[in-house]
Chains A and B, each alone.
Chain A
Amino acid sequence: MLTLISRRMMLVIPNLIGVVIITFLLTRALPGDPAAYFAGPAADKQAIEQIRVKLGLDKPLIVQFGRYVADLGHLNLGNSLTTGQPVLTEIKNRLPASAELTLFGLILSMSIAVPLGILAAVKQGSWIDHTCRVVATAGVSLPVFFTGLLLVYVFYFLLGWSPAPLGRLDVFFSPPPQITGFYLVDSLLNRDLSTFRAALSQLLLPGLTLCIFSLAPITRMTRASMLAVLASDFVRTASASGLDSRTVILTYAFRNAMLPVVTTLGMVFSFLLGANVLVEKVFAWPGIGSYAVEALIASDFAPVQGFVLAMAILYVLLNLIIDVLYGIIDPRVRLET
């Protein structure tokens, strides 16, 4: 198992190097001049040049890159121009917010999509199948920001069921003491039910937005994998030997069908973290996605680089974990590697 992990890590390193290089070049190609931005609206050429030297932006690109990599080695991701804070602390502070939202959306989505997928597979070709398909596909066909705005309009503005879209907690709550960084978990660990409720009510709409967007891939996956399993010999054998269809579907087919679904969840998770960018903007969510968007628009290099790197590492780790888990669950895979 250890060799498997270390081998996988070796494979991953070139990818990360690629990510670092591409991000560096891409951010340098952004329009806008950080020196001019820093120097303020009234700066003359000389003042801008002074700032440029101060920021080290007068050096050739390759020197800047060297410095960037050296800083990375010291876990220094630089400072954001727009918020003025070190990028690493910001990412550390904001990642739990994004992760909590994404996980919540994913769980919500799973709880709807998996039953839908199973239903569609079992009733393959029927109107139920078509309805499931249409519903799920409709969800993925809406731009997330539009879904989000629509939900805010209906549930906050018109109906007043949902609290103000003001981030993770109502203004008059203070966040629970940080343990995991997930407000839901932390407030429960502190037995603070009112904070838990407040955090949950803030999470619902953005979570629902993400859920709607991710219904389709999960439903589709579940359906396909259920179909494959339902057609397989052992399920046929099970039903042939007179087991009632409920047992066959839930005990035999479902379990086996879930395997490929779980593996692709990693992909969906990272895909959702990406989709988060827009959702966070709509809901004033203090996550890393909104942070990256603002930074990119402001040609603020450091946060963009930091964000992309953090996401890449997360993606790689996630896939590694899934691979390992898969190996544990399914011995055949281990043999093959």
Chain B
Amino acid sequence: MTFKIFILQFSKNKGALIGFLIVAIACVLALLSPIIAPHPPHEIFENAFRLPPFFSEGAHDHFFLGTDDVGRDTLSRLLYGARVSLFVGFLVVTLSASVGIFLGLLAGYFGGRVDWFIMRIVDMLMAFPSILLAIVAVSIMGPGLINTIFAVAIVACPQFIRIVRASVQSEVKKEYVLAARSFGATHLRLMLKEILPNCMAPLIVQISLGFSDGILNAAALGFLGLGAQPPTPEWGTMLADARAFIVSDPWLVTLPGLCILAIVLGFNLLGDGLRDALDPKLQRH
């Protein structure tokens, strides 16, 4: 499939375009947060506790989306939060996709005992509910953003392994692989240069979905107090801090959650759209 057809297919899909737009805006906001954020995320304003956002009464011109319980600007923290979330998503996907591609290639290419062994590891990891496995990993390594990333990446690995393995299995029997092999190509060359490029379509889709899963799980850990620690401007952690004020200041709870929902939805829409555009076989009706 050529790039042109891909763009055509993709732009016909309204949902995919919306997803792309959400993700693109989030990326721009995250990159520019130090410039566009009105205040530093950790700066505390005395006597400006829990101010409401601009549309409610008693709002302060200075704080567009209000302030939190210790007087920090909500808008700035949300903008920096986009940074944290995308950073988490990016590292989680990079780590889990690398491990997944490596093990998935081995399993699909060699088959037999190698495959059996790798698939048992996958079974084992899949037996743990994702959040539980991440919690266990964090309870061993201790809470924190970096440990959260590792924990969530471990959880995300099986998906990548299974997807790469499945597409390698269908590719490895094809004639072009046989041809390359008869030219004396090494295993490594066959795997990386011949087979892997032909497995990219489902992999790209999974990368997009991996972002949404990773961000969601990391935020959940943050919410449980096991992820990023205060005062890191992480959306899940902000939500946990705001829980106590659910009655008096509902927007403190509403805003970070909306951000999580928006970015997760964006990546899911993008992933769905990519699937439809890249792989006609997988297309939803």
Task: Please say whether chains A and B are actual partners in one complex.
Answer: no
